[in-house]
Structure formats: structure tokens, C-alpha cells
Chain A
């Protein structure tokens, strides 16, 4: 690959033993020097730290408070678990979790398997790799509103292209976004088209790192194509595959934009109401920040487990 290298050399990164850069040799005691060095260093840090403090760390803390508070005409009071109760008693609660789980499972079937297969296919071809890579990644670069509204147009039961294609192959026309049984699948297909490029390219890079001898050895043992994939390709890319799996679970559990734009969020009979859409509704339609925060907290706790597994695995990869 002729891509510019982003990690100049691994050897140069035996960094933990290095002392920090001192300015020019200075007069004064060790303490004064250390103080000056630290002041300079923190001076470089301050801009980012302030932004994090205001727009990341403080909101993180606030999320926890909000979940147990109620704001009534500017007056904040502690309400304990009342917000959680509200959330649990919402008839949309379980439906939202079911829909989110359905989206995640469908998105994994498509968004996880399809890019892997695509990467394997591209990797096997001896020509046109650049073109195919470009194609797969192209949709990722479109503004989501453009891709989603384009899909809405493609899905339209009247003048949409998709039913036309279905008709051409003798398949029955579908009410893609209007049929409660199909709406989530339609959202997933659009979402996969929009987002699979990144995963496919990461798999492709991983596939290129598999030593060819392993395939030769497998052939000597008489392995066919599928057995080579099963016994060489998958084990060799297992770590990346599991990392991507976790990352996708984290991303898809937070799905919002696609259903929001395709079906208006709730969808026919609430069939595309997701957890994050519910959070959005609490906060911005009903002005109930407490309930939004409580539901957010539930999502956070659920995803924290997945994130922890991710961090553990990616540490293992670094070693």
C-alpha cells in the first residue's frame, strides 16, 4: 500500500522512559524550572481542557444529576427514582428497546456480514481494487440528509425505483416505509448502504495482513474455499472482527438520524421508535429533561459493558 504512513516507526516509541522536553538550560533551582515547565505545558493544554470541562465533563456529571431531578418552572428538586418510573411506565418504553434491539440485530446481520464479504471479494480480485474501494466508501461521504432523503425517494411505493426493480424481477411490490413489518428493515438497508464503507476498508486492511503461507498450508491439507475462510481468514482477523462487532453494537444501539429522517422517528405503529428517539422526544417535545436523562442513563449503563469489553480487547491488540 502506498498510503502515507501514520506511525513513523514503532522503534521510536519506547517513549515511557523519556524525560520531558526541557526548554533551554535555565538559571534557578530545580523547583523553579519544574514550575516553569509545568506552567508552559499546562498553558498548551488549557484550551482543550476548558472545552472538555464545559462541553464534555460537566455534561457527563450533569446527566447523572438530571436523571434524579425535576425542573419545574426553573425550580430544581430531587425526585429520586421518579424519572425512572416515568420512563418504565411509558407504553413506548419496551417497544423502543425491542425496536432498538431489532435494529441492532438486523444491522449486524447486514452491516457486519456484508462489509466482511465485500472486503474478501475485493481482496481476491487482481484488478480494479482502487475503483471498488472508492465505490464502497463513496456513500460514507454523503451528508446523511442527502442519502436518507434519497432513500426515501427510492422507497416510495408510487414513484420509487425500488419497487420498479422488484417488479422487473417478478417480485411483489412493497410498502417499504409504511408497512410496520418492513419499516425497520428498510431503515437498516439504508443505514448499511450509508455506513458500511468504513468497516469494509478496515476489514480489507486486516485481510491484507494475513500471511499467504497460511493459505498455502491449508491447501496442502486439502482445504477448499469455504474451509480456508473458516480456518484461516476468520481466525486471523478475529480480533478486528470482534472489535468492529462491539463498535457497531455501540453505534447501532444509538441509532437516531436514519429513522428520524426516513419515517419521522416513530414510524408506522411506532415500529421504528428507538431508544434515542424516545430520549429526543422526552427532552425536546415534552420538555421532560429528567425522563430523557433517566432513559439515557439506562442506555449508558447498557453500553458501558460493551465499551469496557472494547477497551479490553483493543488493549490486547496493542500488545
Chain B
């Protein structure tokens, strides 16, 4: 990259500058590695210690005992397979609902422009101004007894899926992207007799793959990381998410088994991140600020 930054290239090119640069570089890399990977190393390695070693003082940096059995024990005792299955079910269900409803809504607001469209968008964006935690109580009461339908959604996946659609930020990101699709393209399709649905499917969606990727990742990670809402709406241990299930069992198992469970719970999102790094980071900086 040729952009110039705080420190001038001339300064860096001098022998003294070069030496200093490499020293600083080494220190920074070492410090960052220790600070950010250190705790994760500690997590993975402690998951292999036996019960005694995991709680001994002083702690050992390199495990002296080796008990991969902790991982299988955590898997069985905490029913991680069940929790993982639940979480995947909620996350991908929420993703499907968001992709269908939010994409359709953003498309309509951006290209079909119904009457009151602006007002509806305004009302949606207004929800971003309300602190989420303040809404938790009335939302919870709504889930207990949904008006008109008079249904109790507690302990059902609907309690996760339907509220996840009210993601004004995703609608905003999608609409902004759709706004930038040249109108000639859509006009041409309309001339050829394509219905709005057909236009959405054959023209808008294929162009929008980058933003759909970003929105999908946010949707999945959002459900994966959520804690308070699933704790309240899915109290049944058989229906809990990974986060809530591990939390509620955390005091009942030995530390080393708990840590092994944490390691396994962290893997899925870490893998998603390593694969989709670029999309996630660009989504973050492109849409991160324009609430």
C-alpha cells in the first residue's frame, strides 16, 4: 500500500529507523499475540488438564497432564450436541426469516416505493434509537401472550425467529445497497414483462451477493452470541442455546470440563470468522457507522 501514514517513509528508510521499526514491529506482534491469543491458548490447554491441575496454585502454563477425555465428558455431560443442534436450528431459522422478510421489505422500500413507504422505513429505523435492553421486558411479555393470536411463544423457536426479523440495521444495509442498483437494469426487466418478484430473483439478488453475505453472517452471529433473550424465552433445558445451556450448567461441572466445553462452544463462530473474514470485516466498516 502506498498511502503514507504518520511516520514518513524517509525516516523508516534510514538504518536507525529500520532497526527501530523492526523492534517495534516485533514487540507489537508479540504483545498482540499474548493479549488476544493468550487467553484462547489458556482455554484450549486448560481443557486438557486433569481436575487437580486445572485448579492448582500456581497454574501451569503447559499442561502436565493430558486428558482429552474432558472434551468428550463435556460433550456428554452438558449435552453439547443437543445445545449445538438447538443453536444451529435457531440461527439458521432466524437467517431464513431475515433473508425472506428483510430482503423483501428492503426491496419494496427501495424499488417498489409503496405509499407510506418512507413512514414505514422511518418507524423501522426509529427502533434503532430505543435501547434494546429497555425493550426486553415488554417484548418478553408480548412473547408470553402475543396479541390477536393469543399464543404463548415461550420455549418455541418462534420466540427467536420472529423478533430477529426486526433488525432495522440489516434492512437499512440492504436498502442502501438496493438503492445503488442502476434503475435502467430494472426498467429493462420490466419492459420484458418481468414481475417485481421475478426482477428481485433474477436481477437484484444475484447482484447483491456481497451484501447478502454480510447480512447473513450478522444474522447468524447475532443469534449465536445472544444471551439474555434466549435465557428468558427458552427456559426449558432441552431447548436452550449453547450460551445459556453452558451458563446454567457451569457451576455443576469441574473447571477443566467446563473449560473444554467453552472451547468447543467457541469453535463454530471462530471457524465462520476465519472463512468469511473478509466479508465480515468489510461489512463492519462499510455499514458499521451509519446507524
Contacts and interface: CB of A to CB of B under 8 A. Distances in A.
Instruction: Indicate whether A and B interact.
Output: yes
Interface of A: 1-10, 12-13, 15, 18, 20-24, 37-38, 40-42, 44-45, 47-49, 51-52, 54-60, 62-63, 66, 120-121, 123-128, 131-139, 141-147, 149-151, 153-154, 158-161, 164, 167, 193, 198, 201-202, 204-205, 207-208, 210, 212, 215-216, 219, 225, 228-229, 232-233, 240, 243-244, 247, 250, 253-254, 256-257, 261, 276, 279-280, 283-284, 289, 292-293, 296-297, 299-300, 303-304, 307-308, 310-311, 314, 317-318
Given A124-B6, A143-B224, A161 B281 contact: no
Contact of B196 (A8, A21, A240): A21
Given A6-B177, A6-B282, A23 B138 contact: no
Contact of B291 (A22, A207, A210, A310): A310
B273 A138 contact: yes
A161 B16 CA distance: 38
B234 to A, nearest CB: 14
Given A45-B105, A47-B101, A132-B29, A21 B131 contact: no
B232 interface: yes
26 contacts: A3-B285, A3-B286, A6-B214, A8-B181, A15-B179, A20-B111, A20-B113, A38-B115, A41-B113, A44-B108, A45-B105, A45-B109, A45-B120, A47-B101, A52-B123, A55-B162, A59-B135, A66-B138, A126-B21, A127-B25, A136-B32, A142-B270, A145-B244, A149-B250, A167-B58, A216-B4
Given A216-B4, A247-B291, A44 B135 contact: no
A231 to B, nearest CB: 11
Given A41-B112, A63-B138, A233-B6, A141 B25 contact: no
Interface in B189-224: 190-196, 199, 207, 210-211, 214, 221, 224
| Majority secondary structure, A binding face | helix
Contact of B29 (A9, A128, A137, A216): A128
Interface string B47-62: 0000000111111000
Nearest to A152: B250
Give the most central of A58, A149, A205, A279: most B CB within 10 Å: A149
Interface in B246-287: 246-247, 250, 255, 258-259, 262-263, 265-266, 269-270, 272-273, 277-287
A215 B281 contact: no
B139 A250 contact: no
A268 to B, nearest CB: 18
Give the most central of A40, A204, A225: most B CB within 10 Å: A40
Given A6-B282, A144-B227, A159-B54, A225 B166 contact: no
| Majority secondary structure, B binding face | helix
A48 B225 CA distance: 23
Contacts of B196: 21, 23, 40-41, 44
